Chains A and B, each alone.
Chain A
Amino acid sequence: MAKLILNSLSKSFETGGRPAVNGLSLTVREGGFLALLGPSGCGKTTVLRMIAGFEQPTEGSILLGERLLADASEMVPPEHRNMAMVFQSYALWPHMSVAENVGYPLKVRGISGEKRQRKVKDALSAVRLESYADRQPADLSGGQRQRVALARCLVTEPDVVLLDEPLANLDRHLRQEMEETFREFHARSGATMIYVTHDQAEAMALATDVAVMSEGRLLQVAAPEEIYASPDGRLVGGLIGQGAILSLPSPDGDRRLLDWPAMQSLLSTREIGQGNDPVADILVRPQDVEIAAEGVAVSVLSVLFEGERYALRLALADGQTLRAFSRRSVKVGDTLTVIIRSAWRL
């Protein structure tokens, strides 16, 4: 096993248009769990399919440790990559039983008899499906099918496991349960995992690293906490976590983390309205907006009851919106004053 290196990878399809993936460089450390996050159509699936070997890059290369997997002229076919993939559609073979599905990669590798049975049994017990070995995939629920697909990945001890939005078809309750299974799976197998999703909460909950893509390019890679606390650019800021992005005059210096006094001065210069200042995007998380006796005046645009709390949308005097949480109910149209404890310049 070794780290997986994507080296200024690009892919253009014959149909033309802009490249689906454009100069993407990324290193996934051995045993890492990388979540690939981005809006629909940004090229996540294409990256995954290039890693698996279903698509050939038009530029750049893919390496597993020292071994070249693919570049624009050569390519190791998927059958020789020792990778495994969980497909969004599960891709279980409907004419084989659960045990046969899971055991197929072993069968292809010529492992048979006692040894195969034992491995299949182990893999099925890892996803808690031992008693379903003889069922047909058609007789399973969605979550159970997903677990069979996972067991099929587990059984050969692959170097890299690829998951393409594996939870997109499941309901919320099942997603939580499956997230748990994925974490266990990662801990147990030690495989390098790449997990495609457009659900940022899922990405943050599961991964050791989060990579954000947009329009075929990589925007940022970092650990979940880091990317949450210090996102780079408007797109990442908007995609990761909740928050509102304000356009405010650029703060002095290269400070990025802004406290209340800094924010207060920015907001007040703004209110005076010095038009031609350079403008910066400032991310304000809702938990950092505190309703207080004094501060900046806002009016309530909407109130949404979420159970634990109320989620508010607030409008500043110039019409820009903020998000905030409140423990008590407020009325739409009320005027409040808030303090912004901390903010992040994007």
Chain B
Amino acid sequence: MTRPKNQGNSQPRWLFPFVVTVIFCLSVLPLGRLAVTGIVSAMQGGAHQLLSDPALWQAVYDTLTTSFFGMIAAVVLGGGFALLLTLFDVRGKAALGFLFMLPTMIPPQVTALSWIGMTGPSSTLLKALGLAPPLGSPQPLYSIGGIALLYGVQNAALVYLSLRAGLLALPRDGVEAARLSGASSWQVLKDVILPLSLPGFAAGAAIAFVSCVGNFGIPAILGIPASIYTLPTLIYSKFSSFGPGTFADVSLLSAMIAILSVAGLAVEERVLRGRDYRVIGLSGQVAVFRLGSWRWFAEIALWLTILIILVMPLTALVASSLAPAYGVPLSSSTATIQAYEEILFRQTVTRTAFTNSVTLSLTTAFGLLAATVLTGYFLVRGRSRFAPVIAALAEIPYALPGIVLAVAFILVFAAPVPVIGVSIYGTIWIILITYFSSFFAVSLKPVMSAFRQLDPSLEEAARLSGARFGRRLADILVPLVAPAAGASVILVFLIACNELTISALLWSAGTQTLGVVIYNLDDSGSFNLASALSVLVVFMVVVMMLVLELMAKRLPKGVVPWRS
């Protein structure tokens, strides 16, 4: 017997095809295309030349070592912060947590620039303080160790969030029972809490590893000058020296990145075994241990870390942006805002980049919102059998490194779009559609949590009032998910505006983004202009994070990624 179509379903008929089309275009099509090109070129033997190239294996080795040590650094930093801030009676937790999140939200190329400004012979800050090493001595960050260190700084917050979520989900009564049975604080920590928080550690480490593997900004700025290539920067350099075999090569390289990422994500999935710490159980309250006389020590260590990973690099960045000309020492009399005038009023490239980034990000944020409100509604309210598959497909593009996605869309759009016959390769449209694909999950998540929290009877009451789908959407659903939708827009805007990896591969003259321009300015030696632009970007990041922080009270749980 065939089941009659359920028209009691609250969804209009076009919703399912719409959602399927969106997911197909943003996820299935590019990734499928990438897989097909990879497999075809591997079978045609084009792979042989690439695979016998020692430079490739050097890049694989460098990717793995930098990512591994980066992961270790992230686990040490993020784990330490999560344990101290969650389990102990440290003061100023909210401020420390917020500041610790900042390095993750600052674009990686800006992080790299700021650290360069803090170390090495040409550091304006060190020169102003008279601490600079002699000219000609090497920049210590242009090395495997330097890349790994910055990976650690950049991704520490991922470990922090994962572990913290795990710690907050610990049953409080378990801890209390252990204490009542006579265990000291230290024993409880060692025997109960740490073993139980291992999955959080492992999951955080796995996500950090994946994020390191896909990072482009840091190895581009720190690695290329020292001829250290990771897989993403190798792809970039293949595109710069474009040749007949480029497409085949890059599709294989991105397949490698994809495999490394999938392996990392599989580890995360495995250790969490279906428990979504990031959504549930965040309201848990962990017993707080007293540090006693060690508290001062812990607080000083925490603030010192913030000083080193955040305050000093940013100070160096500001110092570099205020330096008059290359080599001129910075003092209160030589400081100048000339660099800011230059990027804001004189250079057309930077102004174009501002316009491009803001337009792209706004379009992505609002365009995606329209799609994700409908998709989120379908996934949460629909009783479709396909909902889990669709939800998984929607997640994948964001989980994969941006470089993989960029390559996938290049492959899709290298030839003119069939039927209409227009080529969007090299235009701003290809960047836009790749953004749509990459940030779909970012936009979807807050909207879905809002729909989950919404009592279905609110919509049912509107149906009985006679309101059709469009009407309910406009009058009831959208206003009720508005706070989460606002958060979704800000988050997507924030991430898209700071993005470099995708646009680095997809830009062409006139479609530069902020990330690309910062990188190019640095590449061409205009370090002070690059720094000034970076300072503006950091400022924008902080402002938007503060806005989200202020909104957080009115948002469903799990919407603001760094709040728990």
* A52 contacts across to B, CB distance below 8 A: 460, 464
Instruction: Determine, out of A71-79, A120-128, A231-239, A291-299, the stretch whose residues face the partner at the interface.
Output: A71-79
Q: Does A53 contact B (CB under 8 A)?
A: yes
Contacts of B455 in A (CB 8 A): 89, 91
CB <8 Å contact, B457 and A75: no
Cβ–Cβ contact A56 & B8, under 8 A: yes
Interface string of B1-21 (1 = CB under 8 A from A): 000101110100000000000
Q: Is the CB of A172 closer than 8 A to any CB of chain B?
A: no
Task: Count chain A residues whose beta carbon lies closer than 8 angstroms to a beta carbon of B.
Answer: 34
Which residue of A has the minimal Cβ distance to B465? A105
A109 lies within 8 A of B466 (CB)? yes
How many A-B residue contacts, CB cutoff 8 Å? 82
Of the listed stretches A80-88, A173-181, A281-289, name the one at the interface; the rest are far from the partner chain: A80-88
- Interchain CB contact under 8 A, A91 and B461: yes
Of A53, A75, A80, A104, the contact of B475 (CB 8 Å cutoff): A104
* A41 at interface by CB-CB < 8 Å: no
Is the beta-carbon distance between A108 and B467 smaller than 8 angstroms?
yes
Is the CB of B471 closer than 8 A to any CB of chain A?
yes
- Contact yes or no, B457 A89, CB < 8 A: yes
Q: Which of B466-513 contact A (CB under 8 A)?
A: 466-468, 471, 475-476, 479-480
Query: 1/0 contact trace for B42-86 toward A, CB 8 Å?
Result: 000000000000000000000000000000000000000000000
Question: Are A108 and B471 in contact, with the CB atoms below 8 A?
Answer: yes
List the A side residues contacting B465 at CB < 8 Å.
79, 84, 104-105, 108, 152, 156
Instruction: Give A33 to B462 CA distance when docked, in angstroms.
Output: 24
Please report the C-alpha to C-alpha distance between residue A109 and residue B468 in the assembled complex, in whole angstroms. 11
Given A73-B4, A75-B7, A95-B479, A80 and B466 contact (CB-CB distance below 8 Å)? yes
Give the distance to chain B from A204, nearest Cβ to Cβ, in Å: 27
Task: Point out the residues of chain B lying under 8 angstroms from A85, CB to CB.
Answer: 460-461, 464
User: B4, A72: Cβ atoms under 8 Å?
Assistant: yes
Contact A78 B480 (CB under 8 A): no
- How far apart sit A14 and B4, CA to CA, in the bound complex (Å)? 13
Closest CB of chain A to B508's CB: distance in Å? 45
Quick check: is A310 within 8 A (CB to CB) of the other chain?
A: no
Minimal Cβ-Cβ distance residue in B for A153: B464
- Contact at A93–B480, with CB atoms within 8 Å? yes
Asked if B458 lies at the interface with its beta carbon under 8 angstroms from chain A, I say yes
Closest chain A residue, CB of each to CB of B476: A93
Contact with B along A116-148 (1 / 0, CB 8 A): 000000000000000000000000000000000
Tell me the bound Cα distance from A52 to B463 in angstroms: 10
CA of A78 to CA of B480, assembled, Å:
21
A55 close to B (CB within 8 Å): yes
Residues of B within 8 A of A88 (CB): 457
Inter-chain CA distance A243–B471, complex, in Å, is: 52
Residues of chain B lying within 8 A (CB to CB) of residue A95: 479-480
Q: Find chain B residues with CB under 8 A from A56 CB.
A: 4, 6-8
Q: Which residues of B contact A108 (CB under 8 A)?
A: 462, 465-467, 471
Tell which of B464, B471, B476, B479 touches A78, judged by Cβ atoms closer than 8 Å: B464
Does A305 belong to the interface (CB within 8 Å)? Answer: no
Taking CB atoms, residues of chain B closer than 8 Å to A54 are 8, 10, 460, 463
A72 to B7, CA, bound (A): 10
CB distance from A283 to the nearest CB of B (A): 38
**B464 touches which one: A72, A73, A75, A79 (CB < 8 A)?**
A79
Q: Are A77 and B7 in contact, with the CB atoms below 8 A?
A: yes
Docked-complex contact A81 and B4, CB < 8 angstroms: no
Chain A residues close to B by CB (< 8 Å): 14, 52-56, 70, 72-75, 77-85, 87-89, 91, 93-95, 104-105, 108-109, 149, 152, 156
Q: List B residues at the A interface (Cβ < 8 Å).
A: 4, 6-8, 10, 383, 455, 457-458, 460-468, 471, 475-476, 479-480
List, sorted by A's number, 15 A–B pairs whose CB atoms are closer than 8 Å.
A14-B383, A53-B8, A53-B463, A79-B464, A79-B468, A82-B466, A85-B460, A88-B457, A95-B480, A105-B466, A108-B466, A149-B461, A152-B461, A152-B465, A156-B466
**Nearest 6 A-B pairs (CB), nearest first?**
A105-B465, A91-B457, A91-B461, A78-B463, A87-B457, A56-B8
Beyond A14-B383, A73-B4, A75-B8, 14 additional contacts (C-beta under 8 Å) are A56-B7, A74-B4, A78-B463, A78-B464, A79-B464, A79-B467, A85-B464, A89-B455, A91-B458, A93-B476, A95-B479, A104-B467, A109-B466, A149-B461
